[in-house]
Structure 1
Amino acid sequence: MRLSIDPSSAEPLFDQIARSIRHALANGLLRTGDRLPPARDLANDIQVNLHTVLRAYALLRDEGLLEVRRGRGTVVVAQPPGVGDPRLARAIAHVAAEAHRVGLTQGRLVELVVHAFQSGPSYDKILDQ
């Protein structure tokens, strides 16, 4: 599993790790029952502190996506809700990445997505915002 993290980003590393794992789940790169690498191995691979990876795993556990089994590893137990189509998952991931890139706040992104959803397929209405 290849994770995409940017140490120079303002986004905390544990959030970047969790986002990358969510992305892998949404795109079918990870499936229910798959084992994640041990936190220590992943931390060494991506050159971050062990506790950073543990925090990301705990976040995903709290979201119901992972189960941390002492002595047996970390296992995917659920897929992210509502994203069954890999094309939709990729589009959402792309929009989120672009929003980060241009400095859009999460709140503003949500406003734009809600407006786009309510407007239907008309791009003109979205661009007027």
Structure 2
Amino acid sequence: MLFRIDPSSTAPLYEQVAASVRRAVSEERVKPGDHLPPARELAKSLQINVHTVLRAYAALRDEGIIDLRRRRGAVVTGRANGHARLTELAAELVAEGKRAGVSLEELVTIVRRKFS
């Protein structure tokens, strides 16, 4: 899997790592059951702190994209593709809302109306 980070980006490094995984899942370059690299190994290859990778993995776990288990590592879940795609779409929606000057409350109201 290809992880990319851009040190000059304003996005936090952990979010860049998480976004790389989300992108790989949504593009089906990784599939449910696939293992992600161990945090130490990934941190070393990207030349970043291991805690940064662990924070990215924790965010992905909280989103339901990966499962974290001792001795087993980070494994892509069966629901990963849908969650990764929704996360990407939500990020696009938030960015578009900001460009349009829409507040978070207004954006939530719009989403609630469409969800019903």
TM-score (norm 2): 0.72
Equivalent in the alignment of 1:54 = 54
C-alpha separation between the residues in 1 aligned to 2:4 and 2:62? 22
C-alpha separation between the residues in 2 aligned to 1:63 and 1:80? 11
Equivalent in the alignment of 1:20 = 20
Residues 64 and 9 (structure 1), Cα distance of their counterparts in 2 relative to 1, 3 Å cut: same
Equivalent in the alignment of 2:112 = none
Q: Matches of residues 84-99 of structure 1 in structure 2 within 5 Å?
A: none
Tell whether the 8 Å contact from 2:26 to 2:81 is kept in structure 1 after alignment.
yes
Structure 2: runs of 5+ lacking an equivalent = 102-116
Equivalent in the alignment of 2:80 = 79
Instruction: Give the fraction of aligned pairs with identical amino acids, expressed as a percent.
Output: 47
User: Does 2:109 correspond to 1:108?
Assistant: no
Residues 11 and 72 (structure 1), Cα distance of their counterparts in 2 relative to 1, 3 Å cut: same
Structure 1: runs of 5+ lacking an equivalent = 84-88, 97-104, 112-129
C-alpha separation between the residues in 2 aligned to 1:69 and 1:110? 41
Aligned length: 96
TM-score (norm 1): 0.65
Q: CA RMSD in A?
A: 2.6
C-alpha separation between the residues in 2 aligned to 1:48 and 1:68? 20
